[in-house]
Amino acid sequence: MNLKRYLLTPGPTPVPPETSLAMAQPILHHRSPVFMEILGQVREGLKYLFQTEQEVLILASTGTGAMEGAVANLLSLGDTALVVDGGKFGERWLALCNVYGIKVDRLAVEWGRAVDPQEVARRLDARPEIRAVFVQANETSTGVQHPVKQLAEVVTPRPNTVLVVDAISALGGYELPMDEWQLDVVVAGSQKAMMLPPGLAFAALSPKAWEFVKTSTLPKFYFDFSKQLKSQNKNQTPYTSAVTLVLGLQEVLARVKNEGLEKIFARNRKLSAATKAAVQAMGLELYAKDYPSVVLTAVLAPPGIDGQQVVARLREKYGIWIAGGQAQAKGKIFRLAHMGYIDELEILGTIGALEVVLNDLGYPVAPGVGLRAAQEILAKEA
Ligand SMILES: *Cc1c(COP(=O)(O)O)cnc(C)c1O
């Protein structure tokens, strides 16, 4: 039988049907007045989502493209950067810096832990030549949120250093006001909390970060942020716009504006609390020891059970797609996402299914124990 599919992975995430329909429209020409008007609306909507007055660059790539662009546009050969490495995506900043010949001061953070802003301050004091601090807002591989607000408080007073935040799984999922918190660079992607298919990446830069761009000498072509900015100011993109995805983005931004960020964030907090309470009621532990993520829940698999088996069985028996662990966490954990177009029914269904699957695999769970914990939280008024 072809099972109905439920996508609860931390990217990609489900797309609302209205958004899919918007993307079914005939292809527009990217230099046509009608498309330029849409791009103008999208530029405004992105400012609301990023909570910034700065231009949000719209790139046709996955999130990693904007990460690469951030490195290539801010720094110069031989510069030094501090990289917070607390998971698979922290490692990506390291790899990017290495490729571009950036000297790296690696701040290793134990998986499941958040970075200590005081440690970042000590490193910056010790090495004033550090030009950029690279970090994840939400380290998707471990389900931990790094305290970027506090990191910004450390970095902002230093004129020689910018804070670059990979918010690919965070933006649109929880509070991350770029201007208010003085984040210098915020990078996002379409296929996580933004409810779109993969294929768009975003980057917004503070005035301080744009000053860094002026002096950067690293090579760049497609991901040249200055060229992108100049073009967007004319409601265009330098190369062919990803017109279909931009139509979807227009629909999503209208949806976000209509519901309001506050409500979206409150919903995610509630779904997160329900999911976390449910797995804990089943006797399971969260993988995150500090700042558990609001957009996904990473759970330690019970002793003797491989996390990948939980993932596979949910998929085979119920059509529910969750994620396993990556690299050193592979087999040790499984991860459930609750961001974007995910509702209470899907969370309750997944928790109920998880109870069955854990019993199947030999870990005893009293039927309904997780569901009850989740229901109690979901029943509370926001
Ligand atoms: C998904 C993700 C990425 C990578 O994004 P791609 O879209 O696959 O390039 C980077 N960082 C974080 C934190 C992510 O969750």
89 Cα to the center of ligand 1, angstroms: 7
Residues 6+ apart with CB under 8 A from 321: 5, 6, 7, 8, 9, 314, 315
Looking at the chain, the whole-number percentage of residues with pLDDT higher than 90 is: 99
pLDDT in the model for residue 2:
84
pLDDT in the model for residue 381:
75
- The rounded average pLDDT for each run of 10 residues, N- to C-terminus, in the chain (382 residues) is 92 98 98 98 98 98 98 97 98 98 98 98 98 98 98 98 98 98 98 98 98 98 98 98 98 98 98 98 98 98 97 98 97 98 98 98 98 97 68
190 Cα to the center of ligand 1, angstroms: 10
Residue whose Cα lies nearest atom 5 of ligand 1: it is 63
Question: Nearest to residue 134, comparing CAs of 191, 177, 181, 96?
Answer: 96
Ligand 1 neighbour 140 (Cβ under 6 A):
yes
Ligand 1 neighbour 169 (Cβ under 6 A):
yes
Asked if residue 117 lies in contact with residue 149, where contact means CB atoms within 8 angstroms, the answer is no
Instruction: Establish how many alpha carbons lie within 13 A of residue 291's alpha carbon, considering only the half-sphere containing its beta carbon.
Output: 18
Q: What is the pLDDT of residues 127-144, one digit of tens each?
A: 999 999 999 999 999 999
Q: Spell out the domains of the chain, with CATH numbers in brackets.
A: 6-12+260-378 (3.90.1150.10), 17-258 (3.40.640.10)
pLDDT in the model for residue 35:
98
pLDDT in the model for residue 382:
61
Q: Which segments within the chain are labelled E, that is strand?
A: 6-7, 56-59, 80-85, 103-108, 130-136, 138-139, 144-145, 162-166, 185-189, 201-205, 296-300, 320-321, 323-324, 333-337
Ligand 1 neighbour 89 (Cβ under 6 A):
yes
Residues 6+ apart with CB under 8 A from 363: 302, 304, 305
Question: Nearest to residue 120, comparing CAs of 159, 156, 95, 94?
Answer: 156
Contacts of 15-20 with CB under 8 Å at 24 or more apart are: 15/195, 15/196, 15/197, 15/248, 15/341, 16/195, 16/251, 16/252, 16/255, 16/341, 18/251, 18/255, 19/195, 19/196, 19/248, 19/251, 19/252, 19/255, 20/248
Distance CA 16, CA 14 (A): 7
Q: For the CA atoms of 78, 84, 87, 90, what is the dihedral angle to 10 degrees?
A: -40
pLDDT in the model for residue 61:
98
pLDDT in the model for residue 309:
98
Ligand 1 neighbour 68 (Cβ under 6 A):
no
Ligand 1 neighbour 189 (Cβ under 6 A):
yes
pLDDT in the model for residue 1:
67
164 Cα to the center of ligand 1, angstroms: 14
Lookup result for tokens 């779109």: 196
Lookup result for tokens 């069955």: 356
Ligand 1 neighbour 64 (Cβ under 6 A):
yes
Task: Give the count of beta carbons closer than 10 Å to the beta carbon of residue 33.
Answer: 9
Ligand 1 neighbour 62 (Cβ under 6 A):
yes
Instruction: Tell whether the torsion through CA atoms of 142, 147, 148 and 152 is positive or negative.
Output: negative
Distance CA 240, CA 153 (A): 39
Looking at the chain, the whole-number percentage of residues with pLDDT higher than 70 is: 99
Asked if residue 184 lies in contact with residue 209, where contact means CB atoms within 8 angstroms, the answer is yes
